[in-house]
């Protein structure tokens, strides 16, 4: 294990012409890509490959929206490599076998990749590394995904962290993250003969939906891959960084970066974001300082989630606090379906769930409220919600999604206490005071005045014309039921 985190002896340039394979995974970009940069440094011809692996045991299949994002990211990366005279080779099958097969087929001298942090992924990477080295092929991995890798942030006693503030203080004290690497301007490529390899075209992977094609709203909302990432970052830095601390909780404002899917698939690196935000704040000083600190702390939550995933590989399926194993969750397919479709009768929850369905994204504050509603008001196991988000979010992330759901449920590390139960009406009135966000996603409520938009049942049946559903549960009663359930496992 320890060996896999080190970068062994560099490629021996005395063997001219032996290609270097760059194995792309969650790092679908050219800029600040340490594996690619190291491969370019050898000046050997490159083979750039993506292996679509749905066969290896333990790997969680991507959800529909993430598959859609992956398609766009791969297409963009292939296009960028073609501009440099190469291409992205797509192979399908279990990575353990395929990468070794590829390395042998092209007589590679080395294979480079950026590291992943899930247990199944690490196990695959470890065995690929062992197999390559056994054949005398250099195998080296790099950090392309995080500011600080999970094992580098340790408490004084050497233990992993369970509390965010202590984690982030310690991580921040490790110093400024390395400056991002420039995208290579020139690369040479090996002419790969794919005849003996399970090569496929991008469309063969069937990552995009057809029949029905439900991705129209996603296409309208997003430019996938590296070409969309930098403009999104620049827009955020120019228009929203300064007010980020004050406005980030407002779903009716464009007040956050919307970089999560780009970070998830590595269309931009967290180091690029960190340095660009720090430089922009320095230029806008002192007004942007508070916004910067808050924004970097959100990147810190991403780091913390990966720290938790690395040290708790079953983060998406096991309560970090065993007390929650006995929770009397309700089996209620009708309520679950109403939540999924945005038909709970609580406008902020429903607006969030419909934004998610339409665009593959939901604002963070609304994620917290919608998730809390499922777990506490409906008393449905957080894993049902985690699975729905996994399928519908373009940024569905193995660390952030699981850690956030456990945080909301109260079962996680440094979690919101279970007994603190959001009131979706008061949250709506506070964070969407004019109802602009709700009206955007629930057109059937568009005619209600701001004073009724988060409590439409007070507007009377006539105003709703029965187009909006009654509340699935009443807040006070649901709250009491949740607290009683929690006490029962106390």
**Annotated catalytic sites, by residue?**
298, 301, 329, 364, 382, 405
Name residue 111's beta-bridge partners: 21, 139
Rounded distance, CA 340 to CA 343, Å? 8
Smaller CB separation from ligand FAD, 24 or 295: 295
Q: Is 389 in the site for ligand FAD (CB under 6 A)?
A: yes
By CB under 6 A, residue 148 contacts ligand FAD: no
Which of 71, 190, 302, 383 contacts ligand FAD by CB under 6 A? 302
Q: Does 400 bind ligand FAD (CB under 6 A)?
A: yes
**Contact with ligand FAD (CB under 6 A) among 122, 258, 439, 454:** 258
Q: How far apart are CA 152 and CA 5, in angstroms?
A: 11
Please work out the total of residues on this chain that contact ligand FAD, with binding judged by CB under 6 A. 27
Q: Which position has the token pair 């970068």? A: 7
Does 263 bind ligand FAD (CB under 6 A)? Our answer is yes
Is-contact 433 348, C-beta < 8 A? no
Q: How far apart are CA 52 and CA 25, in angstroms?
A: 9
Q: At its nearest, how many Å lie between ligand FAD and the CB of residue 415?
A: 11
Does position 256 interact with ligand FAD (CB under 6 A)? The reply is: yes
Per CB under 6 A, the list member of 102, 197, 299, 378 interacting with ligand FAD is: 299
**Under rule CB under 6 A, residue 397 binds ligand FAD:** yes
Q: What is the edge-to-edge ordering of all strands in the sheet holding 110-114?
A: 88-92, 46-52, 20-24, 110-114, 138-142
| Residue 259 touching ligand FAD (CB under 6 A) | yes
- Which C-beta is closer to ligand FAD: that of 253 or that of 475? 253
| Nearer Cβ to ligand FAD (24/164) | 164
H-helix or E-strand spanning residue 88: strand 88-92
Q: Smallest distance from the beta carbon of 405 to ligand FAD, in angstroms?
A: 5
Half-sphere exposure of 44 (CA within 13 A, CB side): 27
Q: Determine if 367 is a binding residue for ligand FAD (CB under 6 A).
A: yes
Q: Rule CB under 6 A: is residue 52 a binding residue for ligand FAD?
A: no
DSSP H helix total and E strand total for the chain: 21, 5
Tell me: does residue 364 bind ligand FAD (CB under 6 A).
yes
Please return the burial class of 401, using the count of CB atoms within 10 Å of its CB with bins 0-12, 13-18 and 19+: buried
Identify the CA nearest to 25 among candidates 100, 118, 109: 118
Residue 46, beta-bridge partner list: 20, 189
Residues that bind ligand FAD (CB under 6 A): 248, 256-260, 263-264, 298-299, 301-302, 305, 364, 367-368, 371, 389, 393, 395-397, 400-401, 404-405, 408
């Amino acid at each position: 294990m320890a060996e896999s985190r080190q970068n062994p002896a560099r490629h021996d340039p005395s063997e001219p012409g032996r290609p270097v394979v760059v194995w792309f995974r969650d790092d679908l970009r050219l800029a600040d890509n340490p594996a690619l940069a190291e491969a370019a440094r050898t000046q050997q011809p490159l083979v750039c490959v993506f292996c679509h692996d749905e066969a290896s045991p333990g790997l969680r299949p991507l959800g529909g929206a993430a598959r859609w994002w992956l398609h766009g990211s791969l297409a963009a990366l292939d296009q960028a490599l073609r501009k440099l005279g190469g291409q992205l080779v797509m192979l399908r099958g279990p990575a353990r076998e395929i990468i070794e097969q590829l390395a042998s087929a092209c007589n590679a001298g080395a294979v480079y990749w950026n590291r992943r942090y899930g247990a199944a992924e690490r196990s695959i990477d470890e065995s690929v590394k062992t197999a390559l080295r056994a054949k005398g092929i250099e195998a080296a991995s790099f950090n392309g995904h995080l500011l600080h890798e999970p094992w580098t942030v340790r408490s004084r006693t050497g233990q992993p962290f369970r509390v965010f503030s202590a984690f982030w203080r310690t991580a921040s004290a490790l110093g400024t993250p390395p400056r991002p690497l420039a995208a290579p301007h020139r690369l040479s490529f090996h002419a790969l003969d794919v005849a003996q390899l399970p090569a496929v075209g991008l469309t063969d992977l069937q990552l995009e939906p057809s029949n029905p094609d439900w991705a129209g709203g996603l296409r309208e909302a997003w430019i996938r891959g590296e070409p969309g990432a930098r403009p999104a970052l620049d827009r955020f830095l120019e228009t929203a960084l300064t007010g980020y601390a004050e406005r980030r909780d407002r779903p009716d404002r464009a007040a956050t970066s919307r970089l999560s899917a780009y970070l998830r698939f590595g269309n931009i690196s967290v180091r690029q974001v960190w340095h660009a935000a720090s430089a922009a704040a320095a230029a806008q000083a002192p007004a942007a300082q508070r916004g910067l600190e808050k924004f970097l702390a959100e990147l810190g939550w991403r780091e913390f989630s990966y720290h938790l995933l690395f040290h708790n590989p079953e983060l998406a399926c096991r309560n970090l606090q065993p007390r929650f194993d006995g929770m009397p969750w309700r089996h209620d397919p009708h309520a679950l379906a109403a939540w999924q479709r945005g038909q709970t009768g609580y406008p902020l929850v429903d607006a969030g769930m419909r934004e998610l369905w339409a665009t593959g994204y939901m604002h963070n504050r609304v994620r917290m409220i919608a998730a809390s509603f499922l777990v506490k008001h409906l008393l449905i196991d957080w894993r049902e919600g985690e699975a729905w988000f996994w399928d519908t979010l373009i940024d569905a992330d193995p660390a952030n999604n699981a850690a956030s759901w456990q945080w909301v449920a109260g079962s996680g590390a440094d979690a919101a206490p279970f007994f603190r139960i959001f009131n979706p009406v008061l949250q709506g009135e506070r964070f969407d005071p004019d109802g602009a966000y709700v009206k955007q996603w629930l057109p059937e409520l568009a005619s209600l005045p701001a004073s009724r938009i988060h409590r439409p049942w007070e507007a009377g049946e006539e105003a709703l014309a029965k187009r909006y559903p009654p509340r699935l549960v009443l807040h006070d009663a649901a709250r009491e039921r949740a607290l009683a359930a929690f006490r029962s496992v106390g």
